[in-house]
Structure 1
């Protein structure tokens, strides 16, 4: 088989004739990652399965209020080699919340494939802007936050004196020593072990009419593989007698417990729960 080759001219002032070196092109391994340099120009892109371009060429992602989307940064050299170990800066303007690298995944810099994963939780209705940068490299994503009311999705009732989802969502997760570390806010810590009321939406765990074990989410669930709000936007619920499955918002009363060393991704539990009035 013929091997493709490239010729490189080696100039030499002390020798009057040009010298050529023959180097096989296939000796360059484009799968081998390179280390980042702030002065270099890269192929820099935010990846999303939900992204589309508007008439002005902006990249847009639609998010329902309170829902989480998974994103990734892809970084390659202009020649197509992945950049490993690049730690970018994130700037999110608007009411949405960034789930930074190191919280949803252990990595805080690009991996050997040049990929760094992170996420965003949609804020209030409007257009937010996410910019990821490194040196002179920038990638921008516009977040179109869609109101729950516009989509005819119900809102959970407000429970006076009950658990507040905005407080629950302040909990931060991070990775350390291959384990998830949970940093609860003081407002949440103070409710640990209390008998509390909380409103939300049922995400059934099986096909039973009455659910004795289910998830309570901050926003209406739309996919069993995508929990609205991420780990801080869901409570694992246990009941003694079972609660009838419903897509309507519900209000529960039960014993609130924090999980500081989660094994299944759950950081909140409500035990001996029962339906109550707001």
Structure 2
């Protein structure tokens, strides 16, 4: 069964109150035609009111996390990590991203960090290569602006939730 893509996921007409056309194309992908799909660190909508991540040299670039391949097995689609990614397993890394809270509290100890901001409360901003699960030592206050965390970076070879990366014992850094 194919699904129609809500324009709110694209920052389009539905986000502005208009309804999609009755003859809107059915898409089997969560991205509309012409947008990058399947790889990369997510799509930052030009209509987003939130600015993209500012460049920083002291954080792990999302391009490094997105640089992987996948293999399909009987258990699902699994990541095949690059040599660079394998060398970072269980090391301390800094990652900059947008917080996706996993509960309703103002401060979070367990959240997702993504390469692009959420533009729709019902849509993930990209694939598993564009998000990192974070577990912190102390709560981090939710913010719309990008945050930077530092902690023990872990590769997830067969995570039950389909994630590829996790940072444990994280702390927020400026």
Q: TM-score range by the shorter chain?
A: 0.7 to 0.9
Q: Does 1:50 align with 2:5?
A: yes
- Measure the CA separation in 1 of the matches of 2:85 and 2:122: 26
Contact map agreement 2:156 2:164 (CA 8 A) in 1: yes
Instruction: Tell me the alpha carbon deviations over residues 60-83 of structure 1, each in whole angstroms, 9 at most, x when there is no partner.
Output: x9579xxxxx9428xxxxxxxxxx
Q: Of the two, which has the highest radius of gyration?
A: 1
- Measure the CA separation in 2 of the matches of 1:168 and 1:71: 27
Residue 112 of structure 2 aligns to a residue in which SS? strand
After the TM superposition, which residues 244-263 of structure 1 pair with which residues of structure 2 at under 5 Å, given as runs? 244-263=141-160
Q: 1:173 aligns with which of 51, 70, 73?
A: 70
Gaps of 5+ in 2: 13-25
Q: Does 1:215 align with 2:112?
A: yes
Q: 1:194 aligns with which of 88, 91, 102?
A: 91
Instruction: Tell me the alpha carbon deviations over residues 111-145 of structure 1, each in whole angstroms, 9 at most, x when there is no partner.
Output: xxxxxxxxxx548xxxxxxxxxxxxxxxxxxxxxx
Gaps of 5+ in 1: 1-46, 53-60, 65-69, 74-91, 100-120, 124-145
Total equivalences in the alignment: 154
> 1:129 aligns to what?
none
Q: Does 1:267 align with 2:168?
A: no
Contact map agreement 1:154 1:249 (CA 8 A) in 2: no
TM-score, normalised to structure 2, is 0.75
Give the superposed CA RMSD.
2.9
Change (3 A) 1:266 1:51: closer
Contact map agreement 1:227 1:234 (CA 8 A) in 2: no
Change (3 A) 1:208 1:160: same
Larger relative contact order (CA 8 Å, sep ≥ 6): 2
Contact map agreement 2:43 2:125 (CA 8 A) in 1: no
Between Structure 1 and Structure 2, the one with more helix by share is 2
Instruction: Tell me the alpha carbon deviations over residues 69-109 of structure 1, each in whole angstroms, 9 at most, x when there is no partner.
Output: x9428xxxxxxxxxxxxxxxxxx9x882446xxxxxxxxxx
After the TM superposition, which residues 115-130 of structure 1 pair with which residues of structure 2 at under 5 Å, given as runs? 122=43
Residue 160 of structure 2 aligns to a residue in which SS? coil
TM-score, normalised to structure 1, is 0.49
> 1:164 aligns to what?
61
Change (3 A) 1:222 1:48: same
